[in-house]
């Protein structure tokens, strides 16, 4: 039986810090091998397609060759690694020479990937907790090191991106998921065959959550450049402390001034007061948000102002809504409803997804569009889902970081 190891998180992080950015994961793997007596340690990173995990390249190791190959793609659906990612629980699977242990590598709800170890088994609960803590520490290592190295981008891409998709990806938030004490949110985007101009964005201040979705007209690099104008302007205004009306007005001027006369960007700009649950919204000619309350899907039925760039001198209006604990707010782009995707029946599907985390919900919604179109997506399909818990501002219950609990196969 694998007994409680001597796991020193300080030494683990020090080993990662001492290594080059592209070798931080390897340094953690070596340290874990020594601390836990692991026969094999790997990190599988979540692919940007949302459908698979990819085992990163590992530094040469002393001893027998690794049993599991680098660059191998592991489908999330139907695999123990994928179940670990979805449930956020440590899992152990018996092996001829021990037990495979899988732990979610997660930080504030962002599922970075899965830590995979081969240990002598069976495994004591103390070991499981140590592995869970190590996986959580590894999330911080990856998030820090990927600022300096393309290693993780290479791992996340199982197929090359077009230039327009590369630009579009840079406009999205660094993490697609965020968990806090009063809410959880997640966004996802399925690009069209020729990437359109969809984006989603969020940022959290001390007492305010800012959200936006935008849809630039057209496709390809031209749409991506137009989206860059809108998103860059919204972020610049927000960082100057502007309210939602001023943000929208400035974005409209930016698109009008730097784009062509026939170009525009639709969008929603929202500001959520965390103390009261009050939403301030500007609707710039965009698809209205949906609200799931007590199992019923409601249209927020916002009045529409012109898209950004159409009529920059026309004042935008702020509209108010109040969220109640248990509400789910869903922001989408029109690609979720385009004719080729009608069979996805997004509004109906939302009533069946209430028990899923927003991270899984956006995957289910955009996946339904992908299935309905048989992969022939004519327009970007984007969803941003916010679950509102409400209550006073408080510390988030983070447990022990990575997945809490154990599931056995």
The pLDDT value given to residue 125: 85
Give the chain's mean pLDDT: 88
Please tell me the predicted confidence (pLDDT) of residue 195: 77
Which position has the higher pLDDT, 230 or 133? 230
pLDDT > 60? residue 230 = yes
Average pLDDT (273-281) is 97
User: What is the rounded CA–CA span in Å between residue 126 and residue 133?
Assistant: 11
CA 258 – CA 247 distance, rounded (Å): 16
Q: State yes or no: pLDDT of 403 exceeds 50.
A: no
Buried b (16+ CB within 10 A) or exposed e, 42-74: bbbbbbbebbbbbbbbbeeeeeeebeeeeeeeb
Judge whether 9-154+398-408 and 182-388 match in fold.
Answer: no
Residue 194 region by backbone torsions, left for phi larger than 0, else alpha for psi between -120 and 50, else beta = beta
> Quick one: 194 exposed, middle or buried, by C-beta within 10 A (0-12, 13-18, 19+)?
middle
Sole residue written with tokens 């489908």: 75
pLDDT at 4 over 60: no
Does 64 have pLDDT greater than 60? no
DSSP state of 285: S
Banded model confidence at residue 402, pLDDT cuts 50, 70, 90: very low
Least confident among 12-21, 91-100, 246-255: 12-21
**What separation in angstroms does the CA of 81 have from each of 93, 115, 218, 356?**
10, 9, 38, 19
pLDDT of residue 374: 82
Domain spans of the chain?
A: 9-154+398-408, 182-388
First and final C-alpha spacing in the chain? 18
Question: Any idea what DSSP says for residue 341?
Answer: G
CB-based burial label for 108 (10 Å; 0-12, 13-18, 19+): middle
- 43-57, 118-132, 357-371: which has the highest mean pLDDT? 357-371
Residues 172, 180: contact at Cβ < 8 Å? Answer: no
Q: Which CATH number fits domain 9-154+398-408: 3.40.50.2300, 1.10.340.30, 3.30.450.40, 3.50.50.60?
A: 3.30.450.40
Please count the CA atoms within 13 angstroms of the CA of 306 that sit on its side-chain side.
Answer: 16
Alpha helices in 204-243 (DSSP H): 220-239
Q: Is the pLDDT of residue 252 over 80?
A: yes
Element housing 73 (H / E): strand 73-75
pLDDT at 350: 94
**pLDDT digit string, tens, across residues 290-300:** 999 999 999 99
289 vs 73: CA distance, rounded Å: 36
Q: CB atoms < 10 A from the CB of 281, how many? A: 23
CATH number of 182-388: 3.60.40.10
| Spatial contact of 16 and 141, defined as CB atoms under 8 Å apart | yes
More reliable by pLDDT, 305 or 62: 305
Which pLDDT belongs to residue 397?
A: 61
What is the rounded distance in angstroms from the CA atom of residue 340 to the CA atom of residue 376?
Answer: 8
What pLDDT sits at residue 192?
82
C-beta separation of 229 from 243 below 8 A: no
Range name among 78-87, 186-195, 258-267, 359-368 with the lowest pLDDT average = 186-195
Q: What is the pTM of this model?
A: 0.88
């Amino acid at each position: 039986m694998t007994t409680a190891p001597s796991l020193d998180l300080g030494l683990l992080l020090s080993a990662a810090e001492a290594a080059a950015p592209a070798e931080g994961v390897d340094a953690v793997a070596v340290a874990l091998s020594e601390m836990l007596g692991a026969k094999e340690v790997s990190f599988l990173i979540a692919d940007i397609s949302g459908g698979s995990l990819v085992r990163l390249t590992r530094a040469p190791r002393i001893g027998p060759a690794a049993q599991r190959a680098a660059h191998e793609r592991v489908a999330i659906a139907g695999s123990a690694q994928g179940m670990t990612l979805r449930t956020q629980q440590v899992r152990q699977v018996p092996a001829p020479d021990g037990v495979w242990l899988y732990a979610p590598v997660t930080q504030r709800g962002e599922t970075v990937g899965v830590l995979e170890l081969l240990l002598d088994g069976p495994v004591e609960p103390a070991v499981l907790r140590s592995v869970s803590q190590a996986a959580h520490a590894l999330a911080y290592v990856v998030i820090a090191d990927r600022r300096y190295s393309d290693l993780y981008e290479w791992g996340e891409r199982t197929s090359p991106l077009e230039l327009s998709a590369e630009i579009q990806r840079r406009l999205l938030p660094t993490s697609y998921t965020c968990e806090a004490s009063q809410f959880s949110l997640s966004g996802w985007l399925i690009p069209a065959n020729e990437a359109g101009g969809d984006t989603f964005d969020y940022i959290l201040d001390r007492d305010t959550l800012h959200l936006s979705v935008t849809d630039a007209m057209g496709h390809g690099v031209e749409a991506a450049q137009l989206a860059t104008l809108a998103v860059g302007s919204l972020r610049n205004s927000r960082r100057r402390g502007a309210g939602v009306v001023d943000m929208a007005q400035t974005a409209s001027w930016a698109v009008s001034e730097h784009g062509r006369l026939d170009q525009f960007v639709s969008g929603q700009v929202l500001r959520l007061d965390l103390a009261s649950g009050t939403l301030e919204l500007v609707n710039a000619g965009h698809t209205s948000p949906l609200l799931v309350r007590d199992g019923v899907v409601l249209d927020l039925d916002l009045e529409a102002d012109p898209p950004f760039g159409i009529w920059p001198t026309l004042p935008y209006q702020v509209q108010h809504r109040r969220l109640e604990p248990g509400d789910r707010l869903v922001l989408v782009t029109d690609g979720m409803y385009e004719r080729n995707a009608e069979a996805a029946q997004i509004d109906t599907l939302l009533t069946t997804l209430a028990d899923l985390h927003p991270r899984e919900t956006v995957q289910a919604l955009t996946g339904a569009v992908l299935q309905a179109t048989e992969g022939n997506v004519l327009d970007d399909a984007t969803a941003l889902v916010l679950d509102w818990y409400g209550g006073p501002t408080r510390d988030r219950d983070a447990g022990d970081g990575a997945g809490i609990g154990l599931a056995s196969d």
